[in-house]
Amino acid sequence: MSDRSRRLGTRRSKRTDPQTGRGPTVLIDTFGRVATDLRVSLTDRCNLRCTYCMPEEGLQWLAKPDLLTDDEIVRLIRIAVTDLGVTEVRFTGGEPLLRPGLVGIVEALRGPGAPPRMSLTTNGIGLKRTATALKAAGLDRVNVSWTPCAPTSSRPSPAATGTGTSSTAWLPPATPASSRSRSTPS
């Protein structure tokens, strides 16, 4: 067993289901903390070249056959939610808005069962194009990194400064289609 495997394992909880007599399986780290949130990197690509995450020489992108399909991502997240106690999913990247199937992934996770709270960390460049569709699909929260707005010559890594150069927006629930007014964009 590798060090990484030992750091995050699964264990049955001491609480038991009265019908099955079994406790739920949960993710527990070596400090005994139960992990209830899951970070899902949807792509390694980005539309910016920030100095703290993109080396000057660039990166070798993953080949498309090496990436999980949208259906595989949805399936893995559903397993984490239903079998491992995950209650919140955060989509990251690279730049997650570059993933063509992002809206469909969010929509699929809002299907039957108890959906997780879903958030997205982005540089914000593609939000104008996708925010409405993501909200309608069921995304709960967007975290926008403001570091792309900082001058490159004096832009240290947010991790290095510990300042957290980002802003979070909570999205109100989407209005049901039946109560939305139908208007044609001008």
pLDDT over threshold 80, residue 157: no
Query: Scanning the structure block, which residue is given the tokens 């899902």?
Result: 40
Classify 86 as helix, strand or coil.
coil
Say how far apart CA 112 and CA 171 lie, in whole Å. Answer: 21
Task: Give yes or no for a contact between 170 and 141, defined as CB atoms under 8 angstroms apart.
Answer: yes
Q: What is the DSSP letter of 178?
A: G
Condensed to tens digits (0 to 9), the pLDDT of residues 73-131 reads 999 999 999 999 999 999 998 899 999 999 999 999 998 878 999 999 999 999 999 99
Query: What value does the mean pLDDT of the chain take?
Result: 76
pLDDT at 177: 45
Q: What pLDDT is attached to residue 171?
A: 55
pTM over the 0.85 mark: no
Q: What confidence category does residue 162 fall into, taking pLDDT thresholds of 50, 70 and 90?
A: very low
Residue 27: partners with Cβ closer than 8 Å, 6 or more residues away: 8, 9, 10, 34, 35, 84, 85, 86
Report DSSP state, residue 5: H
Is the pLDDT at 48 greater than 80, yes or no? yes
CB atoms closer than 10 angstroms to residue 114? 7
For 125-141, what is each residue's pLDDT tens digit? 999 999 999 999 999 99
Pair 73, 104: CB distance under 8 Å: no
